[in-house]
Amino acid sequence: MKINAVKGFRDVLPGETEVWSRLEEAARRLLIGYGYAEIRVPAVERRELFARAAGETTDIVEKQMYTFDDVDGTSLTLRPEGTASVVRAYIENGLHGREPVSKLFYLGAMFRRERPQKGRFRQFHQIGAEVLGREDPLVDAELLVLLAEYFAALGLATARIEINSLGCAACRPAYREELRRYAEARKQTLCADCNRRIERNPLRVLDCKLDAERTLDAPVMVDFLCAACGEHFRTVRALLAAESVAVTLNPRMVRGLDYYCRTAFEIVAEGLGAQNAIGGGGRYDGLVASLGGPSVPGVGFALGVERLVLALRVPEAAAPFDVFVAPLGDPAEARAFRLARELRREGLRLEIEPGRKSLKSHLRRADKLGAAFVLIVGDEELSRGTVVIRDMRGQRQLEAPLDAPSIVRAVRRAQ
């Protein structure tokens, strides 16, 4: 019986993995340049970590988490996002005691039981970064500059950054109440989900797709910011404007998680269908304390790798081979096998196949692999202590001594 992958889980095959590597390497290079260090956190955490961090009433916690009981009864969850785990690790390992500021990045798989659709899977991958210990607007602006640099480096011209401020503990309650009153008055016209949200999480009414048209005149947070939040937001936007990083104000953006405050942002790109976000993030100043840590502010982002790959839409060519080794006959095969090892040590990307094939079939295979050169090792050449190097593009042949350094020299010269 054939066993297939689980629904919503997929294989990333050669041809696409090259794009992934390019995305990951570009991210690493950039993040390290901006002062970040990599952190690797486990894929499994206690359920309560996400419930407390994201909020019990968020879609993630209510509907999307893979949660199961361990044998000892502990309720465990496959991480649906990275921030909660990074903050847990930050607190648990006492990183705040070592450095006043921690800049951390991660790459890895996340799990959410959503309806699978274009570019959206139940196991998906994120590139994320968190800054803990900075509350100044400079660092918020720096994160967005970094993202703009990243999209430029990838050649992702359609990426657009939308920004909003979600206020703080001082100014959001008044806004929340105003929005609750607004939604309450329109209860009959709003969808069933929104009716549930009115009391528990009225902000979510603003990102309801069904009711978007009906709530166009809803009050927005930016009109309710306290003096400190207003100043913070103005500075972030001024710094970005000065650096010519284009951001669009989206006053209706609320982000899915309860822990965000002040700066919030989303990155959207074209060609992704209705769900056009490729990532997002924002400030979460109360999160570290709410998870039992010290009162340390935080800000960060996460990008969806599958979404980025889809937005890039560039099929990456597989890396070509420098050399294909074609032994002819058994004695030649053993000698060619050792030569292949030596040449790979010299840094050549190389393939070798068994000696029982004809030269014609070796050449066909080398052509298929896109090898630039074929090394023909036959009994005759062996007895002379040489190999034949065939240039697949120039269709020329030359003979070289059978030792790795001479072959590498000959190949490099002919390239």
Which parts of this chain interact with Zn ion (CB under 5 A)?
167-168, 170-171, 191, 194, 208, 210-211, 226, 229
Residue closer to Zn ion, measured from CB, 211 or 266:
211
CB of 211 to Zn ion, least distance (A): 4
CB of 226 to Zn ion, least distance (A): 4
CA distances from 252 to 191, 332, 411 (A): 18, 71, 60
Residues 6+ apart with CB under 8 A from 328: 355, 359, 362, 376, 377, 378, 379
Residue closer to Zn ion, measured from CB, 8 or 256:
256
Residue closer to Zn ion, measured from CB, 240 or 261:
261
Token code pair at residue 32: 């390290």
Token code pair at residue 125: 């991958």
CB of 225 to Zn ion, least distance (A): 6
Rg (CA), the chain: 28
CB of 264 to Zn ion, least distance (A): 13
CB of 83 to Zn ion, least distance (A): 21
Residue closer to Zn ion, measured from CB, 167 or 280:
167
Q: What is the DSSP annotation of 21-78? A: HHHHHHHHHHHHHTT-EE----SEEEHHHHHHHH-TTSHIIIII-EEEE-TTS-EEEE
- Other CB atoms within a 10 A radius of the CB of residue 133 amount to 18
Element (H, E) at 231: helix 227-242
Find out whether 328 and 378 touch, Cβ atoms under 8 Å.
yes
Residue closer to Zn ion, measured from CB, 86 or 194:
194
Pairing of strands 323-328, 350-352: parallel
Residue found by looking up tokens 């400079």 in the block:
138
Residue closer to Zn ion, measured from CB, 210 or 238:
210
CB of 25 to Zn ion, least distance (A): 39
